[in-house]
Amino acid sequence: MKKSVILGALTVASLVAGGAAAATLDDVKARGKLNCGTNTGLVGFAAPDANGDWQGFDVAVCRAVAAAVLGDQSAVEFVPTTGKTRFTALASGEIDVLARNTTWTFSRDVDLKFTFIGVNYYDGQGFMVPKSLGVSSAKELDGATVCIQTGTTTELNLADFFRVNNISYEPVPIETNAEAQQQYLAGACDAYTTDASGLAATRATFEDPTAHVILPEIISKEPLGPLVRHGDDEWADIVRWTLNALIAAEEYGVTSANIDELAANPTSNPEINRLLGTEGNLGEMLGLPADWAVKAIKAGGNYGELFEKHIGENTPIGLARGLNAQWTDGGLMYAPPFR
């Protein structure tokens, strides 16, 4: 009956983890691991594979940051978070960066006191309906039963949309995408609404994807991006410029295939040279080694490669670049200059 000791032992053993101190970079270096908050499972964005390795588009951002800071893309501890627990986990210092398809909103940035460091996916809330319903616009959904995922901005957008258009609906709140999918396929909801990327990913796994259409209305702006705590600008800079490095690399044609060559033989393009650390001292300014961006890009590839690998048109999810194309291709991906 002397087992209360276990608690004591665990307490002693676990108090080694650092707290929400200001210098996150030092903590991460001391720990040798980056703690990264992810989704508990979202197709294409974060999910553990059969070997227990996390894969996905959001996961890739964390791996790039770990590669830049620690030089090892596998030096990441992934902490699965739910819609409820994600912000507390970040605020309490349990995680160093939250990359969990989180919408950048005013109140989260200002009131909840987080720093969004950029956007890795521009999304928007849409509707999916079965083709047989004969609906071509969300405004025809009067009286319909709509499945929504809770714990997100989705339910607020939906309430606003139906209120503005003065039509009625019946919301069915659902905790996970998998259950929403089940209800929708069985006809328990007429429509399913969530981020358009999620809709596409969900539709792709149906037995007959062509029997379902995604309605043209996008009722909200959902810029999804990684975020860190307020008050540690050095750390925010590191995460921000790692993401920017991935985006810039695609713009300049730096890929995981040619990066070794480009890093070894400085090119005539000074921007690339500065990015890859063969010219200037950008890494030093961040408090990182000169080849930080090289490692970040080598972790999984540049932004375009990550997109293609995890959610692009050749994956089951099959998302088009759309808004997420480089600005040179008419998209919104625009990395500030590296100088």
The token duo for 101 is 């398809």
Asked whether position 207 contacts other proteins by CB under 8 A, the answer is yes
The token duo for 224 is 């999804």
Q: Which is nearer to other proteins, 79 or 275 (CB)?
A: 79
For the CB of residue 204, give the shortest distance to other proteins in the complex, in Å: 8
One DSSP character per residue, 104-154 reads --HHHHHTTTEEE---SEEE-EEEEEEGGG---SGGG-TTEEEEEESSSSH
For the CB of residue 200, give the shortest distance to other proteins in the complex, in Å: 12
Calpha distance 233→217 (Å, rounded): 38
Binding mask 90-129 for other proteins (x = CB under 8 A): -xxxx------------xx--xxx----------------
Calpha distance 70→144 (Å, rounded): 51
Return the biggest CA–CA distance within the chain. 73
Residues 229-288 within binding reach of other proteins (CB under 8 A): none
Q: Which is nearer to other proteins, 167 or 290 (CB)?
A: 167
Q: Which is nearer to other proteins, 46 or 293 (CB)?
A: 46
Asked whether position 83 contacts other proteins by CB under 8 A, the answer is yes
Residues contacting other proteins: total by CB under 8 A? 101
The token duo for 337 is 């200059």
- The C-alpha R_g of the chain, in whole angstroms, comes to 22
Asked whether position 89 contacts other proteins by CB under 8 A, the answer is yes
Q: Which is nearer to other proteins, 36 or 275 (CB)?
A: 36
Q: Which is nearer to other proteins, 16 or 257 (CB)?
A: 16
Residues 145-184 within binding reach of other proteins (CB under 8 A): 145, 150-152, 155-156, 158-160, 162-163, 166-179, 181-183
- Are the CB atoms for 153 and 105 separated by under 8 Å? yes
